Chain A
Amino acid sequence: MIEKKSSNRILYGWMVIVIVGLLIGIWGAVYTLIRGLGPWGVTDQIPWGIVTAAYVFFVAASAGCITVSLGHALGIKGFELIIKRAVFLAIITLFAGGILIVLHLGSPIQAYYLLISPNVGSPLGWMVIFYTLYLVLLVIDFSLLHKNDVKKARVIGIIAPLAAIGVHSTLGAVFGFAVARPFYGGAFAPVYFVLIAIIIGTALVLFVTTLQFSVSKSEMSTEFRRVTATLAKFLALALGVAVLFTFWRDVTGLHSTVDSTAYQHSLSLWWYWAIVILLGLIIPLFLFLNRRTRTPNGILVGSFLVLIGMFAARMDYTIGGLIEPMLEDLKHLEHGSPAQYSASFAEIAVVMLAVSLTALLYMWGTKKLALKEVPHHS
């Protein structure tokens, strides 16, 4: 009884935080739609800021659902416990990402030109196509799962990951195609983005699952413990690859033949080392590798750190690639070298909208859509 009361109190407190976040977010969205991007911190030299980074993060979170989706489609035992919430999370994060990208446009009212006048050579155009396709597949997948039609859902579970890889690797290509900005990784950016998606998506599913058990103070069943531990081990593998990627990217950047301003800037930031590297990669890697910390609580902490670190890493990646002015004179004219960016309150509010909307929709989903329900294996 007492436990239930304290759990309710946590829930109410959480609701208040989410609703305040939502209200600030709605203000930010309305303000942006009325005033345009003038009040934002983005400039001609740093045209993409925290909202773009958050978009990459949310789409990654959505596309990363493929680990659970594939695990379920391949019939790995235990994945049927989390598949439904993973697909639901993928839908709502993709939806929140959509809000971010629309608000990030200078003229969202003209966005229909993406459909009536598409440029087949543009990775951005393809990203929109894959985005739409993925959203449709996810909704079909979820409705099938909701009807317990596991057989058909598993077929979609094979197709949807292809669209997920499509959406996030073309998003990587958007950055990679910017030839003048080697920091974005060129041809390897799309592959890197798929890795990022797997990490963020898996971490989000783990975080939400373990948080639910932690808040409700209920004991995790053996099957749940097993599937979260399996995912945590998989996440550790992906984090290991990310460490390798990050190490070689930074070392390549400091090599003499590349213009190293962007890399040096990253490496000179305290939060790059503290949040991106230590909290986001190294500590969770050890938490997930060690059998003693691969407990529900260890996974909760580890996956939360991964999410924080990965968001900071998206900021570093998106903005870091832009800080170097393209022509020498701009350095002297308008900014110091490198160019500066600080997020305005309106931009932060827009990101808060996406975060709180995701939280609110998930809470609604847990209540109304029976996300815990286990679809039967055929």
Chain B
Amino acid sequence: MSKSNGNEISRRDFLKGGVLGGTAGIMSAVTGGPAKAQSSISGKKLAMVIDLRRCVGCGACMIACKNENNVQENVAWASRISRTVGRFPYPKYEYMPTLCNHCEKAPCVKGCPTGAMHKADGDITMHSPGKCIGCRYCITNCPYGVIHFNEEGKHRFWSNDKPLIENGTASAREVTQKARGRVLPYYNPARELSNPGTGIRRKGIVEKCTFCDHRLIKGELPYCVEACPTDARIFGDLNDPNSEVNQILSKFNSRRLKEDLGTEPKVFYVREFNQGSYEKTKGMV
């Protein structure tokens, strides 16, 4: 992409295309969505629409999230609701991907005693690990159960003394010592970009979905959106009347989880996972 520009500007500068006249249009054409053209997220109200009709329930979003953010087992920043309702011979399977709703009126933000949980650029509900005291009030307060407490430090694998191949490879513990503790899987260099010092996911604090802000500031999409094989996740700015999310929300009835609580979630669901049909009748007794 940067080659096609022809100017002597870095890729990073180019991705800040929003400020260059005409670049946004080119970016839109190249990437197929306005979200990618925006390098800065401040002043935006970022939201996600999940089109359940397109969703095939493959779980790629959950795996992608784990890959991108190095989330350990038993913790899922991106999860799903799945259930079978109805009885034979008419059962129905439902599937609904879930993630942090980045509520406009987020109870976790209101309750956090130190302001570690806060509203950041792009109206993202963000967590500052440096300020978190680990009181877990946000977990109690969140109506969606999407905040997790990190009980583990480094994965136990990294304190293993045994080399994979005797006299052939180093042991995991040696690798840890060489890397001065900065080892996978709980190290995420990408996170350092948006929030310096948070690359290593610390023990004793809470954590949650960040809408992949480290990708957003580079002009990329959240990784779950990127990874979705059926493009069921649409990401964009609610403040931009022309954004794809606004276009989709104008076409379909949308719903959000537990709307009655007044949290104003910013993850919308449109259409149905299961496209049912039935024969027309006048009803039955």
Contact A106 B133 (CB under 8 A): yes
Residues of B68-84 contacting chain A, CB below 8 A? 74-75, 79-83
Closest residue of chain A to B118 (Cβ to Cβ) is A119
Q: Does A3 contact B (CB under 8 A)?
A: no
Contact B261 A106 (CB under 8 A): no
Q: Which B residues are CB-close (under 8 A) to A326?
A: 142-145
Chain A at the B interface: SS class = loop
A47 vs B206: C-alpha distance when bound (angstroms): 11
Among the interface residues A42, A328, A334, which one has the most CB atoms of the partner chain B within 10 A?
A: A328
Instruction: Choose from A111, A122, A327 the contact partner of B110 (Cβ within 8 Å).
Output: A122
Given the known interface contacts A105-B133, A329-B79, the answer about A180 and B143 at a Cβ–Cβ threshold of 8 Å is yes
A125 vs B113: C-alpha distance when bound (angstroms): 5
Contact B132 A110 (CB under 8 A): yes
Instruction: Choose from A38, A107, A174 the contact partner of B137 (Cβ within 8 Å).
Output: A174
- Report A107 CB to chain B, min CB distance, Å: 4
Q: Does A44 contact B (CB under 8 A)?
A: yes
Instruction: Choose from B83, B204, B263 the contact partner of A106 (Cβ within 8 Å).
Output: B204
- Report B113 CB to chain A, min CB distance, Å: 4
Instruction: Choose from A119, A328, A334 the contact partner of B115 (Cβ within 8 Å).
Output: A119
Q: Does B112 contact A (CB under 8 A)?
A: yes
Return the CB mask of A214-250 against B: 1 if under 8 Å, else 0: 0000000000000000000000000000000000000
- Report A16 CB to chain B, min CB distance, Å: 35
Given the known interface contacts A326-B142, A329-B79, the answer about A180 and B258 at a Cβ–Cβ threshold of 8 Å is yes
Q: Which B residues are CB-close (under 8 A) to A124?
A: 111-113, 135, 137
Given the known interface contacts A119-B113, A124-B113, A177-B110, the answer about A327 and B133 at a Cβ–Cβ threshold of 8 Å is no
- Report A31 CB to chain B, min CB distance, Å: 14
Return the CB mask of A91-130 against B: 1 if under 8 Å, else 0: 0000000000000111110110110011101111100100
Q: Which A residues are CB-close (under 8 A) to B151?
A: 36-38
Q: Which A residues are CB-close (under 8 A) to B140?
A: 47-48, 178, 181, 321-322
Chain B at the A interface: SS class = loop
Return the CB mask of B137-154 against A: 1 if under 8 Å, else 0: 101111111111111110
Among the interface residues A106, A117, A121, which one has the most CB atoms of the partner chain B within 10 A?
A: A106
Contact A113 B133 (CB under 8 A): yes
Closest residue of chain A to B74 (Cβ to Cβ) is A334
- Report B114 CB to chain A, min CB distance, Å: 4
Q: Which A residues are CB-close (under 8 A) to B137?
A: 122, 124, 174
A228 vs B263: C-alpha distance when bound (angstroms): 49
Contact B81 A118 (CB under 8 A): no
Contact B115 A117 (CB under 8 A): yes
Q: Does A140 contact B (CB under 8 A)?
A: no
Among the interface residues A44, A128, A177, A179, which one has the most CB atoms of the partner chain B within 10 A?
A: A44
Q: Which B residues are CB-close (under 8 A) to A169?
A: none
Q: Which A residues are CB-close (under 8 A) to B111?
A: 121-124, 174, 177-178
Binding site for B on A (CB under 8 A): 36-38, 42, 44-45, 47-48, 104-108, 110-111, 113-114, 117-119, 121-125, 128, 174, 177-181, 321-322, 325-330, 332, 334
A7 vs B147: C-alpha distance when bound (angstroms): 54
Q: Which B residues are CB-close (under 8 A) to A111?
A: 133
Contact A38 B261 (CB under 8 A): no
- Report A118 CB to chain B, min CB distance, Å: 7
Binding site for A on B (CB under 8 A): 74-75, 79-83, 98, 107, 110-116, 130-137, 139-153, 202-206, 257-258, 261-263
27 A-B pairs in the complex with CB atoms less than 8 angstroms apart: A38-B151, A44-B145, A47-B139, A104-B135, A106-B136, A107-B204, A108-B133, A108-B134, A110-B130, A110-B133, A114-B113, A114-B133, A117-B114, A119-B112, A122-B110, A122-B137, A125-B114, A177-B110, A177-B141, A178-B140, A179-B107, A179-B141, A180-B141, A180-B142, A180-B258, A326-B142, A327-B145
Given A44-B145, A326-B144, 4 further pairs, Cβ under 8 A: A106-B204, A118-B113, A121-B110, A180-B141
Given the known interface contacts A106-B134, A181-B140, the answer about A44 and B148 at a Cβ–Cβ threshold of 8 Å is yes
Contact B143 A179 (CB under 8 A): yes
A106 vs B136: C-alpha distance when bound (angstroms): 8
Contact B113 A325 (CB under 8 A): no
Among the interface residues A37, A107, A124, A181, which one has the most CB atoms of the partner chain B within 10 A?
A: A107
Given the known interface contacts A177-B107, A179-B143, A325-B145, the answer about A105 and B261 at a Cβ–Cβ threshold of 8 Å is no
Contact A107 B82 (CB under 8 A): no
Contact A47 B136 (CB under 8 A): yes
Closest residue of chain A to B145 (Cβ to Cβ) is A326
Among the interface residues A104, A179, A332, which one has the most CB atoms of the partner chain B within 10 A?
A: A179
Contact A330 B112 (CB under 8 A): no
Closest residue of chain A to B111 (Cβ to Cβ) is A122
Instruction: Choose from A36, A113, A330 the contact partner of B114 (Cβ within 8 Å).
Output: A113
Contact B261 A180 (CB under 8 A): yes
Q: Which B residues are CB-close (under 8 A) to A332?
A: 82-83
Q: Which 5 A-B pairs have the closest CB atoms?
A: A106-B134, A180-B143, A326-B145, A106-B204, A47-B136
A328 vs B80: C-alpha distance when bound (angstroms): 9
Closest residue of chain A to B152 (Cβ to Cβ) is A38
Q: Which A residues are CB-close (under 8 A) to B263?
A: 179
Closest residue of chain A to B142 (Cβ to Cβ) is A326
Closest residue of chain B to A102 (Cβ to Cβ) is B133
A175 vs B277: C-alpha distance when bound (angstroms): 45
Q: Which B residues are CB-close (under 8 A) to A322?
A: 140
Q: Which B residues are CB-close (under 8 A) to A107?
A: 132-134, 202, 204-205
A179 vs B263: C-alpha distance when bound (angstroms): 10
Contact B79 A327 (CB under 8 A): yes
A305 vs B114: C-alpha distance when bound (angstroms): 38
- Report B49 CB to chain A, min CB distance, Å: 19
Q: Which A residues are CB-close (under 8 A) to B115?
A: 117-119
Q: Which B residues are CB-close (under 8 A) to A334?
A: 74
Q: Which B residues are CB-close (under 8 A) to A110?
A: 114, 130-134
A42 vs B148: C-alpha distance when bound (angstroms): 12
A143 vs B79: C-alpha distance when bound (angstroms): 56
